[in-house]
């Protein structure tokens, strides 16, 4: 059956006519009607007109439970009162100065006091900019060119950060030495040559690859939870091996904690007691406004000092802008250990409920994740790396898309790849409502799975 005329898509279209109208207008000014690929999905995305707490209201007036939270960046949900007050007070005083501000310093003081691996830091305008500058810092410090990243890892919107983001079975090569794959036709060959791909959660293979390429490696960059492949947690053994091997060879270890800082005040480096040389941040530290950051050891970060002999160049018009700093400071001050514990526990309840829904439906699936981060997979097999995740995605086909649409029509927003995250605005009742929506959605989806993807049914 064509996905263009699937009954569940028809249900979605009937649910969201105002969003359909706006999507049609968007196609007149944006290629494909899209100005942000991650937020786009077929047949068209819901348009949101306002949001407060954990509820977002779409153009047709539906109140949606928001488990996307702008891709994990809104740890307090929408329009948190203290963040709103801070932004309102600051915008009347100006939104961006070409000068330092007290908010900038205070937010940096708070972050450096919490994150073990950050002694000094710099703000950027996005997480992508933060990872870019981390890589440049590592190259300047070591005099080497190559970067090792994980298969299926995502570190922003630039070529190196997206190499082997989608490790397709016909092109990815041997697990012990994966191929460097371009995600689109814009990649120069030089980027692929300078990127060493490492299998995730394979400690022995990772150690061997670092040994093999050590003389050319400037850095190893890793997400402590592999986000784009479905929230796959790294094992402590894997991260410890990366730390030991990079120290042995003088390679800079970079943790991309843009997403994972929400799981603990000190990030996953605090949880695992594995301290990187550099840490990239973003998302929650901006209070809902665009932000990124880079921090690390004083020795490495001093390479950015304008007073250095030959500083690493970093100029960015809106980095550390006072409006974002005011919002971020309010958001981070409002986030305490009891808050991260609570939303982590809520997500544990969510995963437990989701897993029960799959079991009861007779459909192969699971909720994977750690802390406040969760992702649904149409697979009942262990998922430890990007290759495991890809097998599930291929087996599911368009069922992932249909489940996303079914959940939307039942009032639950997630990323189209079925990523969910909890916020401090949520309660157990919100979690239970999402679990109920999944039960209902899987019941509706089951006849189509039986007809179109029978291998997803449990015998």
pLDDT in tens, 169-181: 999 999 999 999 9
Contact 412, 69 (CB under 8 A): no
**Cis peptide bond N-terminal to 337, omega within 30:** no
Check pLDDT > 50 for residue 1: no
3 state SS of 421: strand
Catalytic annotation, residues: 154, 256, 283
Rounded to an integer, what distance in angstroms lies between the CA atom of residue 373 and that of residue 188? Answer: 34
Q: Is the predicted pLDDT of residue 52 greater than 70, yes or no?
A: yes
pLDDT at 58 over 60: yes
Residues above pLDDT 90, as percent of the chain:
97
pLDDT of residue 2: 46
Token duo for residue 321: 């802008």
94: left (phi over 0), alpha (psi -120 to 50) or beta: left
Tell which residue, 98, 94, 78, 73, has the closest CA to residue 291: 73
Q: Coil, strand or helix: which one is 313?
A: coil
CB distance 379 to 366 below 8 Å: yes
Res. 160 pLDDT band, cuts 50 70 90: confident
> What average pLDDT score do residues 326-330 get?
98
Q: Is the pLDDT of residue 164 over 60?
A: yes
Please give the pLDDT value at position 170.
Answer: 93
Cβ within 8 Å of residue 4, ≥6 positions away: 43
- Taking the alpha carbons at both ends of the chain, their separation in whole angstroms is 23
**Does residue 292 sit in helix, strand or coil?**
strand
Q: Is the pLDDT of residue 314 over 90?
A: yes
Q: Which two tokens stand for residue 417?
A: 């790849």
Q: pLDDT per residue over 374-390, tens digit each?
A: 999 999 999 999 999 99
Look at 76 and 37; give whichever has higher pLDDT.
76
Which bin fits 71, alpha (ψ -120 to 50), beta or left (φ > 0)?
left
Q: What is the pLDDT of residue 3?
A: 46
The SS3 of residue 405 is helix
Q: What integer pLDDT is reported at residue 305 of this predicted model?
A: 96
Mean per-residue pLDDT, 200-211:
98
Q: How high is the pLDDT of residue 4?
A: 58
Strand pairing category for 55-58 and 63-66: antiparallel
Domains of the chain (ranges, CATH numbers): 3-78+336-456 (3.90.1150.10), 81-333 (3.40.640.10)
8 A C-beta contact, residue 47 and residue 59: yes
Alpha carbons within 13 angstroms on the beta-carbon side of residue 80 total: 27
5 band by pLDDT with thresholds 50, 70 and 90: confident
Q: Which tokens go with 292?
A: 């990124």
| Statement: residue 344 has pLDDT above 60 | yes
Measure Cα distances from 12 to 7, 19, 451 in Å: 9, 10, 20
Q: Is the pLDDT of residue 104 over 80?
A: yes
Report the pLDDT averaged over residues 248-262: 98
């Amino acid at each position: 059956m064509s996905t263009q005329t699937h009954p569940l898509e028809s249900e979605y279209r009937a649910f969201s006519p105002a969003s359909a109208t706006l999507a049609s207008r968007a196609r007149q000014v944006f290629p494909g009607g899209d100005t942000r690929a991650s937020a786009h999905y077929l047949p068209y995305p819901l348009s949101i007109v306002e949001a407060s707490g954990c509820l977002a209201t779409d153009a047709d007036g539906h109140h949606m439970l928001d488990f996307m939270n702008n891709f994990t960046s809104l740890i307090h949900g929408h329009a948190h009162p203290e963040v709103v007050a801070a932004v309102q007070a600051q915008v009347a005083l100006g939104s961006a100065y070409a000068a330092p501000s007290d908010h900038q310093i205070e937010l940096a003081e708070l972050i450096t006091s919490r994150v073990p691996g950050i002694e000094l830091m710099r703000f950027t305008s996005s997480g992508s900019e933060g990872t870019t500058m981390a890589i440049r810092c590592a190259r300047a410090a070591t005099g080497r060119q190559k970067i090792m990243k994980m298969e299926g890892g995502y570190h922003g919107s630039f070529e190196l950060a997206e190499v082997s983001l989608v490790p397709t079975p016909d092109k990815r090569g041997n697990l012990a030495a994966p191929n460097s794959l371009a995600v689109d036709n814009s990649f120069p060959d030089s980027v692929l040559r300078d990127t060493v791909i490492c299998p995730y959660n394979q400690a022995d293979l990772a150690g061997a690859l670092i040994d093999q390429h050590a003389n050319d490696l400037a850095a190893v960059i890793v997400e402590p939870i592999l986000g784009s492949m479905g929230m796959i947690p790294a094992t402590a053994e894997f991260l410890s091996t990366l730390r030991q091997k990079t120290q042995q060879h003088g390679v800079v270890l970079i943790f991309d904690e843009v997403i994972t800082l929400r799981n603990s005040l000190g990030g996953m480096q605090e949880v695992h007691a594995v301290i990187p040389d550099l840490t990239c941040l973003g998302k929650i530290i901006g209070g809902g406004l665009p932000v990124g950051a880079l921090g690390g050891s004083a020795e490495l970060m001093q390479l950015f000092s304008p007073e250095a002999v030959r500083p690493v160049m970093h100029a960015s018009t809106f980095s550390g802008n006072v409006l974002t700093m005011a919002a971020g400071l309010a958001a981070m001050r409002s986030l305490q250990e009891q808050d991260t514990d609570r939303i982590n526990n809520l997500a544990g309840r969510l995963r437990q409920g989701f897993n029960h829904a799959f079991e009861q439906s007779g459909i192969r699936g699971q909720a994977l994740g750690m802390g406040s981060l969760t992702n649904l997979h149409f697979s009942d097999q262990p998922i430890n790396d990007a290759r495991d995740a890809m097998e599930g995605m291929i087996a599911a086909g368009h069922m992932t898309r249909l489940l996303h649409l079914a959940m939307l029509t039942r009032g639950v927003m997630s990323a189209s790849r079925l990523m969910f995250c909890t916020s401090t605005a949520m309660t157990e009742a919100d979690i239970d409502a999402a679990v109920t929506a999944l039960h209902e959605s899987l019941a509706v989806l089951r006849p189509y799975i039986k007809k179109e993807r029978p291998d997803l049914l449990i015998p």
